[in-house]
Amino acid sequence: MLHPGASTNLERGIGMEVIKTKNELRELLNKERQRGSSLGLVPTMGFLHKGHLSLMEEARRRDDVVVASIFVNPTQFGPGEDYVAYPRDLPRDMWLASSAGVDYLFVPEADEMYQDNSITFVDMEGLTDVLCGASRPGHFRGVMTVVTKLFNIIRPDRAYFGQKDAQQVLIIKKMVKDLDMGIDIVEMPIVREEDGLAMSSRNSYLTESERKSALVISRSLSDARDSINKGENRAGLIKEAMIKEISSERAASIDYIEIVDAQTLKPIERIEGGVLIAAAVKIGRTRLIDNIKLEV
């Protein structure tokens, strides 16, 4: 069935509808809701990889209707960041999302998402000021605002996020709780390449030699895990070893390495309880993040 403003057949994956406007999506999802279907949402910025697909597949398993969004959100990029260069490939994404079982793919343009010069933002204290929030001022305000908008448009029962962006999912969970949004946030593990590199759309920026250098990030994290498993519990020493290992890679420059409490994101001295070891490292000009979570 074709809806007003619906995508052309060419733009449609098999069994999946590609929707560009908020109104059209709202109407379609109202009908789904009236049928009593549960709705799962997977927000992404596109250029899909197996990490994204793992979220979509989990949504397919748990919800009656799966909505995924692809939106490179301008408000979460700072000046001089890669908003314009961010990789985009909608035809390929449509094929992958459809194969992962997505029913509705929401692909709004920026002026559809932010109409009439919107001036309202969602923000948070504390959790947003550290780690990536310290390196990228305003980033999480942009993320929280766009995720809130997606929640309001789609009104999902569940929304799926990756541990790859550990700070982001923590912030979203807290926002949902603080603002009584009543959405179940599902956190899924990091999907990695065979050699350990965390999958990321930004990996496509890497040259062949940078791709090899980038391995130092996941290697340093798994070395940290090994030494904790062997009984080391001094966060300072583990952090130092990681800094040393990553600095030995010529193409790498550290944005941050932090060992923090997994709930408060406050630095810890002793490894115990829920611990997050998070790294942001530039490989050449590409900023990559990765982390491990441990329960010690």
Residues carrying an active site annotation = 52
Q: Is 63 in the site for ligand AMP (CB under 6 A)?
A: no
Handedness of CA 74, 286, 173, 35 (dihedral sign): positive
Q: What is the largest CA-CA distance in the chain?
A: 62
Taking CB under 6 A as the criterion, which residues in 195-254 touch ligand AMP?
198-201
Nearer to ligand AMP, 160 or 268 (CB): 160
Question: Which residue stretch of 58-66, 94-102, 188-196, 215-223 sits at the interface with ligand AMP (rule: CB under 6 A)?
Answer: 188-196
- C-alpha distance from residue 181 to each of 18, 125, 128, 258, 266 (Å): 26, 18, 19, 30, 26
Nearest Cα to Cα of residue 198 among 287, 124, 263: 287
Distance separating alpha carbons of residues 117 and 180, to the nearest angstrom: 27
Q: Is 52 in the site for ligand AMP (CB under 6 A)?
A: yes
C-alpha 10: how far from chain center: 28
Distance separating alpha carbons of residues 255 and 39, to the nearest angstrom: 37
Judging by beta carbons within 10 Å of its beta carbon (0-12, 13-18, 19+), is residue 82 exposed, middle or buried? middle
Nearer to ligand AMP, 190 or 268 (CB): 190
Nearer to ligand AMP, 201 or 213 (CB): 201
Nearer to ligand AMP, 22 or 139 (CB): 139
Q: Site for ligand AMP (CB under 6 A): which residue of 97, 162, 218, 280?
A: 162
User: Closest separation between CB of residue 191 and ligand AMP, Å?
Assistant: 4
Please answer whether residues 8 and 17 qualify as being in contact, where contact means their C-beta atoms are separated by less than 8 angstroms. Answer: no
240: Cβ–Cβ under 8 A, 6 or more apart, which residues? none
Q: Site for ligand AMP (CB under 6 A): which residue of 93, 165, 210, 245?
A: 165
Nearer to ligand AMP, 54 or 145 (CB): 54
User: Closest separation between CB of residue 164 and ligand AMP, Å?
Assistant: 4
User: Closest separation between CB of residue 55 and ligand AMP, Å?
Assistant: 6
Nearer to ligand AMP, 158 or 235 (CB): 158
User: Closest separation between CB of residue 15 and ligand AMP, Å?
Assistant: 22
Q: Site for ligand AMP (CB under 6 A): which residue of 25, 29, 55, 262?
A: 55
Q: Is 188 in the site for ligand AMP (CB under 6 A)?
A: yes
Distance separating alpha carbons of residues 103 and 64, to the nearest angstrom: 9
Instruction: List residues bridging with 254 in a β-sheet.
Output: 281
Please answer whether residues 19 and 29 qualify as being in contact, where contact means their C-beta atoms are separated by less than 8 angstroms. Answer: no
Q: Site for ligand AMP (CB under 6 A): which residue of 7, 44, 69, 218?
A: 44
152 token code pair = 């309001």
Q: Is 51 in the site for ligand AMP (CB under 6 A)?
A: yes
Q: Is 190 in the site for ligand AMP (CB under 6 A)?
A: yes
Nearest Cα to Cα of residue 92 among 208, 3, 183, 11: 11
> How many chain residues interact with ligand AMP (CB under 6 A)?
17
Distance separating alpha carbons of residues 27 and 17, to the nearest angstrom: 13
Q: Is 161 in the site for ligand AMP (CB under 6 A)?
A: yes
Please answer whether residues 254 and 247 qualify as being in contact, where contact means their C-beta atoms are separated by less than 8 angstroms. Answer: yes
Which residues of the chain form contacts with ligand AMP (CB under 6 A)? 44-45, 51-52, 54-55, 161-162, 164-165, 188, 190-191, 198-201
